[in-house]
């Protein structure tokens, strides 16, 4: 994926300039009431300029009217350019994605090879090392290392395997090793890559509720200033002052919030673009915006808060049992255990299982029913499993379960670990302690969220004792232990019923209902198709902590829109002091006291205000695209900062800018 950080690449600027003119179409402009009224005023000034050129009297000079027309025309172009450059950046991302979408041969199970475009849902194909995966699907057999850099931009390969929540593969990615059999899950043209391209190109970009509300507010301001401008006519007649059409239109354009009106669309598009550059595909602008208002965040424990692979950390033998006997039994019971936990037991023991010469072993696989595994050989039965499972085996054989092992198991669980009891011939040898290590730096991340006013909730299948220990160690605010899919759903519904917005991440089919219910659902790209369909965001990096970054992007979007709105409205004060005195100062000398900028003449004052109004839009485009730098501070502190920097700045900057432009204009008059 293209991660070029330059805001104004040469090719993008060319595209944006072309689109700036195309967007002048009134049908397009009508969607933005503020800029649409500016376009009407620009057209009127064109007519007035032609009128004065052909000898029309009473509306000032042709040069003055033409200048006002050109400045208003540039104002429109600058506003359109802001939106177009934001769109162009998204389209450049789509182009890089489109390069990965090629006609790819697909090898079917019967040995026949067809084009990827001929694949249909439920078709099954084979991919081996070096093959490009022709379509989105679920691995139904096998395991493979896959290069997803064409989609994610990350060079590190990932492992995908059948079963579980890491079985999803994306068309356009490449198999690096091994062999997999894949079942197609999408129709041609509806793949994840196709949807990404459509989303990036803006096909699904609709105005968010917040943006719609702001548009209505700006339309209201526009209507108010239309009334204000129109009512100046009787005041002017009463004062025997002649005000030209150019002056009326200039006053109107300068008083309405043209700055935020021209940048509003660009801010929303740039928010989605920033999410994309963080390798998060958002299905709508609403998802990004909602992320900025999140109150509650649900996070899986395994792989998110903890490293995910539990490791053996200690062996605790039963009283009277030799350490070496427990270690030998633990190693033998883990010989055929391919899980990270099983491998860590052998690693902790530091013994190669092959040194134990055993004949004709029968390996007992772990099952959900027995909750234990092990092996049988030479009249010896070794079992390793959950405390209650091994306790049941021991008691059924008529033996006693050691009290010290039961107490040790409880201590391990209270400390956030998992106890695995080991028995030989239905006699308890001891217990192995497994610990799920909390990720480094996760506490700091949760502290950042807490400063944002976001409650963090850990979701885990662990027992309440283990869950409580991990929750306290990680620093989360709450936890859901022994969580089932309906528990997640119920928790989300409860929080929403109390008026809170909830975000959640997930990657499995069992997460799909909760992802759909959450206000912001982030699905992992490696997860199942059901999870990706249910969420309104997809994280291409498969990093569950990306939710924190998404929240910050959402808050940055809301802050950017709010600060630029504050700046735009504050601008009106300076423009008011520039234009109103200029209109009436000749007939009403008492208004001279309002001419605090001491502008050169009425004509230069009006031109200076209109030119500043146009130029401020391109100057703010980089800010609209990059966004306001986010800092996790409270809402009241944020309001004070906005008012101080952008409110006060919005008043002072125009005073300075208009005065400098006036001085420049005076040199040519």
Binding residues: 337, 341, 366-373, 384, 507, 511
Task: Please state, in angstroms and rounded to a whole number, the distance separating the CA atoms of residues 381 and 626.
Answer: 65
Task: Please state, in angstroms and rounded to a whole number, the distance separating the CA atoms of residues 547 and 648.
Answer: 34
Report the sign of the C-alpha dihedral through residues 239, 244, 249, 254, in that order. Answer: negative
**What are phi and psi for residue 317, nearest 5 degrees?**
-75, 155
Asked if 352 and 343 count as a contact pair (C-beta separation under 8 A), the reply is no
Asked if 294 and 454 count as a contact pair (C-beta separation under 8 A), the reply is yes
Q: Which class for 316: exposed (0-12), middle (13-18), buried (19 or more C-beta within 10 A)? A: buried
Task: Please state, in angstroms and rounded to a whole number, the distance separating the CA atoms of residues 549 and 654.
Answer: 35
Q: What is the DSSP string of 209-262?
A: HHHHHHHHHHHHHHHHHHHHHHHHHHHHHHTT----HHHHHHHHHHHS-HHHHH
Which member of 123, 147, 293, 300 is catalytic? 300
Q: Any idea what the Cα angle at residue 284 is, between residues 283 and 289, rounded to 5°?
A: 125
Task: Please state, in angstroms and rounded to a whole number, the distance separating the CA atoms of residues 153 and 93.
Answer: 11
Going across the sheet that includes 537-539, the strands are 280-282, 537-539, 520-524, 502-506, 296-300, 455-459, 478-480
Task: Please state, in angstroms and rounded to a whole number, the distance separating the CA atoms of residues 598 and 585.
Answer: 12
Let me know if 300 is a catalytic residue.
yes
Residue 548's nearest CA partner among 310, 204, 305, 309 is: 305
**Tokens encoding 82:** 């802001």
Q: Which class for 231: exposed (0-12), middle (13-18), buried (19 or more C-beta within 10 A)? A: exposed
Binding residues for ATP: 337, 341, 366-373, 384
Task: Please state, in angstroms and rounded to a whole number, the distance separating the CA atoms of residues 542 and 524.
Answer: 5
Task: Please state, in angstroms and rounded to a whole number, the distance separating the CA atoms of residues 229 and 259.
Answer: 19
> Which residues, 6 or more positions from 103, have their beta carbon under 8 angstroms from its beta carbon?
115, 116, 117
- DSSP annotation of 438 reads B
Task: Please state, in angstroms and rounded to a whole number, the distance separating the CA atoms of residues 477 and 126.
Answer: 46
Looking at the annotation, which residues are catalytic?
300
């Amino acid at each position: 994926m293209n991660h070029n950080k330059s805001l104004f690449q040469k090719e993008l600027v060319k595209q944006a300039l072309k689109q700036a003119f195309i967007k002048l179409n009134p049908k397009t402009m009508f969607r933005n009431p503020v800029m649409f009224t500016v376009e009407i005023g620009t057209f009127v000034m064109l007519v007035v300029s032609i009128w004065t050129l052909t000898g029309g009297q009473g509306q000032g000079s042709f040069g003055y009217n033409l200048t006002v027309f050109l400045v208003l025309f540039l104002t429109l172009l600058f506003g359109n350019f802001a939106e177009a450059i934001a769109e162009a950046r998204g389209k450049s991302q789509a182009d890089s994605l489109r390069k990965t979408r090629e006609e790819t041969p697909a090898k079917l199970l019967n040995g026949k090879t067809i084009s990827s475009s001929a694949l249909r849902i439920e078709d099954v194909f084979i991919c081996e090392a070096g093959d490009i995966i022709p379509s989105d699907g679920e691995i139904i057999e096998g395991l493979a290392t896959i290069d997803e850099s064409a989609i994610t931009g990350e060079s590190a390969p990932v492992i995908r395997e059948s079963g579980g929540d890491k079985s999803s593969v994306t068309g356009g990615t490449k198999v690096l090793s091994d062999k997999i059999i894949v079942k197609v899950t999408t129709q041609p043209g509806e793949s994840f890559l196709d949807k990404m391209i459509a989303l990036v190109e803006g096909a699904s970009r609709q105005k968010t509720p917040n943006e719609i509300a702001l548009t209505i507010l700006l339309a209201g301001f526009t209507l108010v200033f239309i009334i204000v401008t129109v009512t100046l006519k009787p005041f002017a007649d009463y004062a025997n002052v002649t005000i030209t059409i150019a002056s009326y239109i200039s006053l109107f354009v300068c008083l309405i919030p043209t700055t935020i009106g021209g940048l509003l669309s660009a801010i929303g598009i740039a928010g989605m673009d920033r999410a994309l550059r963080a390798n998060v595909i958002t299905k709508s602008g609403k998802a990004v915006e909602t992320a900025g208002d999140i109150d509650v965040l649900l996070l899986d424990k395994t792989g998110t808060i903890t490293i995910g692979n539990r490791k053996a950390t200690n062996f605790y033998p039963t009283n009277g049992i030799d350490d070496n006997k427990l270690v030998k039994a633990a190693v033998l019971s883990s010989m055929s255990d391919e899980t990270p936990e099983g491998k860590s037991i052998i690693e902790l023991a530091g013994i190669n299982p092959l040194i134990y010469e055993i004949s004709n072993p029968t390996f007992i696989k772990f099952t959900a029913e027995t909750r234990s595994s092990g092996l049988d050989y030479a009249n010896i039965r070794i079992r390793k499993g959950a405390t209650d499972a091994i306790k049941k085996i021991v008691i059924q054989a008529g033996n006693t379960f050691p009290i010290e092992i039961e107490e040790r198991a409880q201590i391990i669980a209270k400390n956030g670990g998992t106890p695995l009891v080991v028995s030989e011939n239905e006699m308890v040898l001891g217990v192995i302690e497994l610990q799920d290590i909390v990720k480094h730096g996760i506490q700091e991340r949760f502290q950042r969220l807490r400063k944002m006013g976001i409650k963090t909730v850990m979701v885990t299948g662990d027992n309440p004792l283990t869950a409580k220990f991990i929750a306290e160690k990680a620093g989360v605010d709450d936890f859901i232990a022994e969580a089932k899919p309906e528990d997640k759903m119920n928790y989300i519904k409860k929080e929403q019923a109390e008026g809170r917005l909830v975000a959640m991440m997930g990657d499995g089919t069992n997460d799909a209902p909760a992802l759909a219910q959450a206000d912001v659902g982030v699905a992992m790209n490696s997860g199942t198709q059901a999870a990706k369909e249910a969420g309104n965001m997809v994280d291409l990096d498969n990093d569950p902590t990306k939710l924190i970054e998404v929240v910050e992007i959402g808050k940055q979007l809301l802050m950017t829109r709010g600060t630029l709105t504050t700046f735009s409205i504050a601008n009106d004060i300076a423009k008011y002091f520039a234009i109103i005195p200029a209109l009436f100062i000749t007939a009403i000398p008492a208004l001279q006291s309002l001419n605090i900028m001491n502008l050169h003449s009425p004509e230069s004052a009006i031109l200076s205000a209109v030119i500043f109004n146009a130029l401020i839009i391109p100057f703010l485009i980089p800010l609209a695209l990059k966004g306001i730098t986010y800092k996790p501070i409270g809402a009241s502190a944020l309001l004070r900062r906005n008012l101080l920097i952008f409110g006060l700045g919005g008043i002072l900057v125009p005073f300075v800018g208009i005065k400098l432009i006036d001085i420049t204009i005076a040199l040519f008059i």
